[in-house]
Structure 1
Amino acid sequence: MENNNNLGLRFRRIPRQPVALPKLDPLLDENLEQWPHMNQLVQCYGTEWVKDVNKYGHYEHTRPDTFHTQIFEGPDTDTETEIRLASARSAQLEDDVASISGRPFSDSGSSKHFGQPPLPAYEPAFDWENERSMIFGQRTPETPAASYSSGMKISVRVLSLAFQSGLVEPFFGSISLYNQERREKLSEDFYFHILPTEMQDAKLSSENRGVFYLDAPSASVCLLIQLEKTATEEGGVTSSVYSRKEPVHLTEREKQKLQVWSRIMPYRESFAWAVVPLFDNNITTNAAESASPSSPLAPSMTASSSHDGVFEPIAKITSDEKQGYSGGSSVVVEISNLNKVKESYSEESIQDPKRKVHKPVKGVLRLEIEKHRNGHGDFEDLSENGSIINDSIDPTDRLSDLTLMKCPSSGSGGPHSSGSKWHTEEGKDVSRNLTSSSGNLDNCYYAFDFCSTTRNEPFLHLFHCLYVYPIAVTLSRKRNLFIRVELRKDDADVRKQPLEAIYPREPGVSLQKWAHTQVAVGARTASYHDELKVSLPATWTPSHHLLFTFFHVDLQTKLEAPRPVIVGYASLPLSTYIHSRSDISLPVMRELIPHYLQETTKDRLDYLEDGKNIFKLRLRLCSSLYPTNERVRDFCLEYDRHTLQSKPHWGSELLQAINSLKHVDSTALLQFLYPILNMLLHLIGNGGETLQVAAFRAMVDILTRVQQVSFDDADRNRFLVTFVDYSFDDFGGNQPPVYPGLSTVWGSLARSKAKGYRVGPVYDDVLSMAWFFLELIVKSMALEQARLFDHNLPSGEDVPPMQLKESVFRCIMQLFDCLLTEVHERCKKGLSLAKRLNSSLAFFCYDLLYIIEPCQVYELILAISCQ
């Protein structure tokens, strides 16, 4: 959105891109002009929100004057009593009112009033909230949010890892949310690593915190922890030393061999795993030494520890004399139920009772876990130094800058047990913000919530990635096998470098060309438990593909670092498998040749194991750019063709795609609601008459469906209110305004109904959603007014009212008259729709007073008098 003074006087800008999220990935910085729908999507998630400050009776750019309460003293009273009595009419007593005599105020109900003041109290401002509450069909503002879902945040930090035999080699791990009942991961992995005492700083080398999101507490929600270590040397010290029954320490020779080997071996193997319930009421605490509701996140915890189901924010003065914030106290969890990996497992089978019992690891992993309220009083209102930055914001309309993508996940389930101990950090200052020890939000990793891709709410942020999960490779002979994963644009040149599209595990590192999995040591069936995150291009062609390279590595100590040997390759075209939700099986090629994806070259390829599908993997697409619904994709494709005029004239394909939107399932419709509405508005403003009517009818149908799924039974669905009040910016002024075309097509429908033509049920639907279209017209006018006088208005002068074109005003006048007729006729039947429509028209006139010439508004009001 352009940065100009006049637009800033009328509209408030709200940043859309959270500071916690990276900038658009390099693969998205492509020329999207040839894909207009993609351009709309990127702008929808990346541009600023704009809010009309004159709407809802607020004048928020001007701070109201402070009126001091008048004090009346009598012979039998004192000043403090009169101050309290005068303040009793207010909603709450100001905390900063000082006592004059030094003694504290008494209870509000204990004093007696001595006489009446000579004059009534002065009311300095009009009570807009009370006035609106008396109007049927009232409209109320919707507070902007980074996500529509509420819930809680959980932060996790790894403190230490200790073994009975000692810690002499580095260990690596990942933490994610896991639902035991549904047997699926709820979030992506948060990575950490721990260095032994002898290496580097002799402490945890990464102070990062992982932040996870939940809709509500559930006994089935757990932390899934997976540990890795350096791949075991052949003939060297095996990982069984960490699970020996007798607590025998490593010998000096064993320590030396492990230290030397860990420095030359860059590859890792799977070591151990654990599942830790977060909301289990049957965990033993060290403080009580008995079974009690001791989980820090259990709903039954006492309020004194801020562990209750509804936790209130706690704010106090921190050591740096700035106001800190925390949603609850932290606890330290000692995890002693680490299970050594004995056989392959997946998220579905990790706790299958039929599986072999894994040996316990003689060690303890210590975590610091803290929960936080996922709301406005949260750390998205914190500045970088931890101080609260929203003290100057109107509490009735909180429009603070958004700093965090909130994508809560959900879970439900039954009880289960755990081998963990919880220690409440009573001695710590609970006023810390989320970053606690580090004091910087940059040290927090916000794990993406997979449930956000299936929730019935609009996408508000840009995410466009593919999670790859290699599962197993079955060979006829034992190998030490690992897999390298990369994204390639085409298959023409096998020596060409891949795209930089793989997310690294280390924080602060740019995208990489490839990443590799764990090493499956000495196995015919190599199993893997890795999660690889791939940044996808904005659009892809049939030649975009993932290339998997299989390596065998010698795990023997030599003078030089081990050199992997290529065993084979496997390719996976994105366009073919991107939608797959089940396991995928692929054959493995011995060598790559040019154009190995083409059907014509497959006869020349040589495959391992007689061409059997020996490589199994799984994909998880998470994208707010690529609709998985076929009807939405078809609409986007036809929209591009129409916008680019790649066809001689729009044909039946576009009309068919528009009409098919009514059959899109509610989840896909709500997720891409805002870009779909923008594209339909563009067609209404720039299409022919037939196309305008089709787009308008489709829009009415979508709005009606969205309103019907309103879970609060409000007159105005909050998704639609957010679109009108914040998301819609009339295409940033880069295209003609929406209101002329919208008024024309709506007025044409109303006149057809007035003339007795059959217009179908769409007419009643558009009347019930009239508030949406009227407020959309108003905002489009206001944005055009601010942009018209952007450069030619002297500084300090108000924006003059806009004179509507005669054709547009006549159309609005006719529409207004038709709507008044509907109100008049439906009032005779006592329908509530007539009352709501009447209120919408009144608000419409009120809003127009700040935009167009008053004489034109007077003509509309005169029409009301005539009716």
Structure 2
Amino acid sequence: FYFDMNPDSLRKMVEPHVGPFDVSTLSRACVLNVTYPSSDLFLVIKLEKVLQGDINECAEPYMKDEKNLDKVRVNAVQCCERLGKYRMPFAWTAIYLMNVVSGVNSLERDSCSDKESTGSNSLDRKSSMSNFEQLRKRASDMGSLTRRGSLERRTSADKRYSWSPEDLTSSLDTFRPVTLTVTSFFKQESDKLRDEDLYKFLQDLKRPCSVLKKLKSIPGVLKLDISPFSEDVKGCLTPELEPLIPVSDFDTLSGSEGKSRPIKEILEFPAKEVLLPHFFYRNLLYVYPKELNFTGRTGSARNIAVKVQLMCGEEDHHALPVIFGKSSCPEYCPEAYSTVSYHNKCPNFYDEVKMSLPANLTDQHHLLFTFYHISCQRKLEQNTVETPVGYTWLPLFQDNRLQAGEFILPVMMDHPPPNYSYITPDVLLPGIKWVDNHKGIFTVHVEAVTSVHTQDIYLDHFLNLCATLEQGRIPQR
């Protein structure tokens, strides 16, 4: 879930790069469904900013009293004008949700009245298949609580590190809406972008640990309203951006503060498989670039961005506008860019690219990954900001089956030749320059959530045989 808290005046600084916004991308509220409640649930918030340079240097104005603020503002305007299309990791924080669910009675009450607190907007709602049905009964019993931020979140309730199923159920039964106030964020370390690095930090959040004290803190305020689901919430959108009843009219939404905004349902990836029939059409693809190793590539390739496109052919105009926009941007885009790690030839990525798959896939549909070096510093002899430094691709529909899973792909130095989409990059084409002698250097994970294409290999084989027999063709043994 992506949200933009910047006012209109700041968003306009990057509007030439991202285009006009659609109403669905202005959401600041979401619906999260948890099928299997766990004592290890965290809410992770990541902050990004317009690409500027080294994370340490960019964070300095936020971490201390800056005397020359005019210089900082001028620099920000220049970066938005030139690099507003690109993002960089900046900061993060996490909230241990068991403290939210179980620590209501141990927290200090906010000074605002119950009448005032009932007017707050709900950021959490569940779908009808959730195991949190009992929480809905308490949606009208609103309270308002506050907690301290990232580095000072320790309370007496935190001393308990494990929860039995009975404790968890009891806490959920007594859970009431709560407002959390985060007052600081951890500065993002450029070499700690992997999910595995985040998991280690999350475990440290559950108990006193000196590791977190070593992380630098950036002051900032973020208020989160967390509450059970309420049936009468209006303006909800499904993961496919389809409106749910009761429907709200957002035609007059201008993006100004105080206006009504849509609420997005976030698709759940449960820890264990949920076996349920498909009641509606769903055909989504999630693409996760993971890591790239460009140490074997000569030339300037350090500030690397990955452009992801879903192609139905091999020309530029074959890029399909099926990528969901993130925040304050068009609803659908033909391309998505990863964050950029400054001066790093082996970057890790945490980006998620969500796509709406075409109903009818062909052999030419493929994911095209283009790697760019982004010039953060303006040079007189250089007119372009991005320079292509590599290409690779992933055919999506092979042997009549949608491809998903983790892939380690080689990277081509020049643009792929004609008819490349019919083969995989594992084929060593003659006369083509490959980075690091055709070794697999780019890791990407692809997750499909679809009612059209089965992900079970045995069921897929059975359906293909049925289709073959319907067409009057006898399959070969």
Q: Partner residue of 2:91?
A: 272
Is the Cα–Cα contact under 8 Å of residues 51 and 79 in structure 2 kept in the other structure? no
Is the Cα–Cα contact under 8 Å of residues 232 and 238 in structure 1 kept in the other structure? no
Q: Does 1:610 align with 2:437?
A: yes
The one-letter amino acid of 2:442's match is: F
Q: Does 1:214 align with 2:214?
A: no
Query: Quick one: distance in 2 between partners of 1:312 and 1:268?
Result: 41
Query: Quick one: distance in 2 between partners of 1:257 and 1:402?
Result: 43
Is the Cα–Cα contact under 8 Å of residues 34 and 270 in structure 2 kept in the other structure? no
Structure 1 unaligned residues grouped into runs of 5+: 1-189, 290-296, 298-306, 317-326, 386-400, 405-436, 657-867
Quote the offset at 1:633 in angstroms: 2.1
Query: Quick one: distance in 2 between partners of 1:512 and 1:499?
Result: 8
1:736-785 residue CA offsets vs partner (Å, 9 max, x unmatched): xxxxxxxxxxxxxxxxxxxxxxxxxxxxxxxxxxxxxxxxxxxxxxxxxx
Q: Does 1:563 align with 2:381?
A: no
TM-score (norm 2): 0.67
Query: Quick one: distance in 2 between partners of 1:209 and 1:631?
Result: 40
Q: Partner residue of 1:199?
A: 10
Q: Partner residue of 2:181?
A: 333
**Residue in structure 1 matching 2:80, options 259, 262, 273:** 262
Query: Quick one: distance in 2 between partners of 1:544 and 1:197?
Result: 38
The 5-angstrom pairing of residues 90-239 of structure 1 reads: 190-195=1-6, 199=10, 206=26, 208-215=28-35, 217-233=37-53, 238-239=57-58
Query: Quick one: distance in 2 between partners of 1:285 and 1:463?
Result: 42
Query: Quick one: distance in 2 between partners of 1:470 and 1:457?
Result: 29
Is the Cα–Cα contact under 8 Å of residues 231 and 269 in structure 1 kept in the other structure? yes
Is the Cα–Cα contact under 8 Å of residues 194 and 206 in structure 1 kept in the other structure? no
Is the Cα–Cα contact under 8 Å of residues 585 and 615 in structure 1 kept in the other structure? yes
Quote the offset at 1:255 in angstroms: 2.8
- In terms of fraction of residues, the more helix-rich structure is 1
1:190-249 residue CA offsets vs partner (Å, 9 max, x unmatched): 1112326963699xx945312211236543111111111111248x992231564x5556
The one-letter amino acid of 1:366's match is: L
Is the Cα–Cα contact under 8 Å of residues 264 and 561 in structure 1 kept in the other structure? no
Q: Partner residue of 1:479?
A: 302
Q: What's the secondary structure of 2:447's corresponding residue?
A: strand
Is the Cα–Cα contact under 8 Å of residues 469 and 617 in structure 1 kept in the other structure? yes
The one-letter amino acid of 2:444's match is: L
Q: Which has the higher contact order (CA 8 A, sep 6+)?
A: 2
Quote the offset at 1:647 in angstroms: 0.8
Q: Does 1:251 align with 2:69?
A: yes
Query: Quick one: distance in 2 between partners of 1:584 and 1:622?
Result: 18
The 5-angstrom pairing of residues 390-405 of structure 1 reads: 403=245
CA gap 1:595/1:652 in 2 versus in 1, 3 angstroms: closer
Q: Does 1:621 align with 2:448?
A: yes
The 5-angstrom pairing of residues 384-533 of structure 1 reads: 403=245, 440=260, 443-451=262-270, 454-476=273-295, 479-490=302-313, 493-506=314-327, 509-533=330-354
Quote the offset at 1:507 in angstroms: 6.2
Q: Partner residue of 2:457?
A: 630
Query: Quick one: distance in 2 between partners of 1:225 and 1:383?
Result: 25
Quote the offset at 1:330 in angstroms: 4.4
Query: Quick one: distance in 1 between partners of 2:244 and 2:72?
Result: 52
CA gap 1:628/1:372 in 2 versus in 1, 3 angstroms: same
Quote the offset at 1:473 in angstroms: 1.3
The one-letter amino acid of 1:608's match is: V
Query: Quick one: distance in 1 between partners of 2:29 and 2:73?
Result: 30
Q: Partner residue of 2:196?
A: 348
Quote the offset at 1:566 in angstroms: 0.7
Is the Cα–Cα contact under 8 Å of residues 31 and 265 in structure 2 kept in the other structure? yes
Is the Cα–Cα contact under 8 Å of residues 287 and 354 in structure 2 kept in the other structure? yes
Query: Quick one: distance in 2 between partners of 1:200 and 1:610?
Result: 43
**Residue in structure 2 matching 1:584, options 381, 386, 407:** 407
CA gap 1:366/1:598 in 2 versus in 1, 3 angstroms: closer
Q: How many residues align?
A: 376
Q: What's the secondary structure of 1:584's corresponding residue?
A: strand
Q: Percent of counterpart pairs with the same letter?
A: 19
Query: Quick one: distance in 2 between partners of 1:308 and 1:535?
Result: 30
CA gap 1:521/1:439 in 2 versus in 1, 3 angstroms: closer
Q: Partner residue of 1:647?
A: 472
**Residue in structure 1 matching 2:396, options 565, 569, 574:** 574
Quote the offset at 1:336 in angstroms: 2.2
Q: Does 1:378 align with 2:231?
A: yes
Q: Partner residue of 2:151?
A: none
- In terms of fraction of residues, the more strand-rich structure is 2
The one-letter amino acid of 1:618's match is: H
1:376-398 residue CA offsets vs partner (Å, 9 max, x unmatched): x713xx6669xxxxxxxxxxxxx
The one-letter amino acid of 1:278's match is: L
The 5-angstrom pairing of residues 766-805 of structure 1 reads: none
CA gap 1:586/1:507 in 2 versus in 1, 3 angstroms: same
Q: Partner residue of 2:146?
A: none
Query: Quick one: distance in 2 between partners of 1:230 and 1:200?
Result: 11
1:577-621 residue CA offsets vs partner (Å, 9 max, x unmatched): 95543x421111011211224568712321012222111121111
Quote the offset at 1:640 in angstroms: 3.5
Q: What's the secondary structure of 2:344's corresponding residue?
A: strand
Query: Quick one: distance in 1 between partners of 2:329 and 2:65?
Result: 39
Is the Cα–Cα contact under 8 Å of residues 311 and 328 in structure 1 kept in the other structure? no
The one-letter amino acid of 1:192's match is: F
1:63-115 residue CA offsets vs partner (Å, 9 max, x unmatched): xxxxxxxxxxxxxxxxxxxxxxxxxxxxxxxxxxxxxxxxxxxxxxxxxxxxx
Query: Quick one: distance in 1 between partners of 2:48 and 2:68?
Result: 19
Quote the offset at 1:342 in angstroms: 3.3
Query: Quick one: distance in 2 between partners of 1:220 and 1:207?
Result: 27
Query: Quick one: distance in 2 between partners of 1:218 and 1:438?
Result: 35
Query: Quick one: distance in 1 between partners of 2:422 and 2:431?
Result: 11
Query: Quick one: distance in 2 between partners of 1:212 and 1:438?
Result: 23
Quote the offset at 1:311 in angstroms: 5.1
Larger radius of gyration: 1
Structure 2 unaligned residues grouped into runs of 5+: 14-24, 112-121, 123-131, 142-174, 205-210, 237-242, 247-256
Q: What's the secondary structure of 1:526's corresponding residue?
A: coil
Is the Cα–Cα contact under 8 Å of residues 89 and 339 in structure 2 kept in the other structure? yes
Is the Cα–Cα contact under 8 Å of residues 342 and 359 in structure 1 kept in the other structure? no
Is the Cα–Cα contact under 8 Å of residues 237 and 258 in structure 1 kept in the other structure? no
Query: Quick one: distance in 2 between partners of 1:346 and 1:360?
Result: 18
Q: What's the secondary structure of 1:631's corresponding residue?
A: helix
Q: What's the secondary structure of 2:137's corresponding residue?
A: coil
Quote the offset at 1:542 in angstroms: 3.3
Is the Cα–Cα contact under 8 Å of residues 237 and 257 in structure 1 kept in the other structure? no
Q: What's the secondary structure of 1:352's corresponding residue?
A: helix
Q: What's the secondary structure of 1:224's corresponding residue?
A: strand
Q: Does 1:596 align with 2:414?
A: no
